[in-house]
Amino acid sequence: MKSGSHSDQPSFSIGVVKEATGLTERRIRYYETLGMLAPGRTQGNQRLYSQGDIDRLKYIKALLDHGVTLKEVRAQLQQEDTATYRHDFDEVERDAESYFQGKLIARRADVHRDSLYPLINRQDIMRRLAREHKDGQGDTKGDH
DNA sequence: CTTCTGACA
DNA sequence: TGTCAGAA
């Protein structure tokens, strides 16, 4: 694995994350207790967020701002995580397969953390939300 | 001064 | 969710 594989390397304090996401510390910590994210910790028990955690929180906030309920956001994240898990599992499986076929070098897969699957998924969701927001202006709910 | 946990309006 | 307390 290379050093700068993708977007993860826990190093941001909750203060930085607060500024970057526009969320309050209260909410950031609350979502964590709900199992929506799991930042690292320093030896002093201080939370350490990765860029991935920040993106995740921004995504959560975006959905919430568009009227999606917390319960729905949680379900969505669960599905994304499951998709990522499967993607990574397949990735490892292919690597193993390639290895046993004697052509290991074929893969330079350092894409285990944040696969593109959830990212593409999020893009679709964001587009859909933007469209719905454009059409149904006077909507408080009813579009799910 | 910043962050943490628990608790209460 | 906001906010306060008391400790680290």
Q: What is the pLDDT of residue A96?
A: 75
Which pLDDT tens digit goes with each residue over A80-136?
Answer: 888 777 777 777 777 777 766 665 554 555 544 456 667 777 888 888 887 877 776
d(CA A21, C1' C5) / Å: 27
**DSSP string spanning A58-115?**
HHHHHHHHTT--HHHHHHHHHHHHHHHHHHHHHHHHHHHHHHHTT-GGG-----SSS-
A16 touches strand B (CB under 7 A): yes
- Confidence bin at A69 (pLDDT 50/70/90): very high
Q: Which structure tokens are listed for A8?
A: 């993860």
Which pLDDT tens digit goes with each residue over A21-56?
Answer: 999 999 999 999 999 999 999 999 999 999 999 999
A25 touches strand B (CB under 7 A): yes
Rounded mean pLDDT of A56-68? Answer: 93
User: Could you tell me if A75 and A36 are in contact, meaning their C-beta atoms sit under 8 angstroms apart?
Assistant: no
**DSSP string spanning A15-62?**
HHHHHHH---HHHHHHHHHTTS---EE-TTS-EEB-HHHHHHHHHHHH
Domain ranges (residues) in chain A: 14-134
Report the amino acid identity of residue A26. R
Give the closest residue to C2 (Cα–C1′).
Answer: A26
Q: What is the pLDDT of residue A15?
A: 98
A44, closest nucleotide (Cα–C1')? C8
Architecture of domain A14-134: Orthogonal Bundle (1.10)
Question: Is the confidence at residue A1, as pLDDT, over 70?
Answer: no
Query: Which bases in strand C are touched by protein, i.e. have an atom under 7 Å from a CB?
Result: 1-3, 8
d(CA A82, C1' C5) / Å: 40
Task: Tell which residue, A52, A63, A54, has the closest CA to residue A128.
Answer: A63
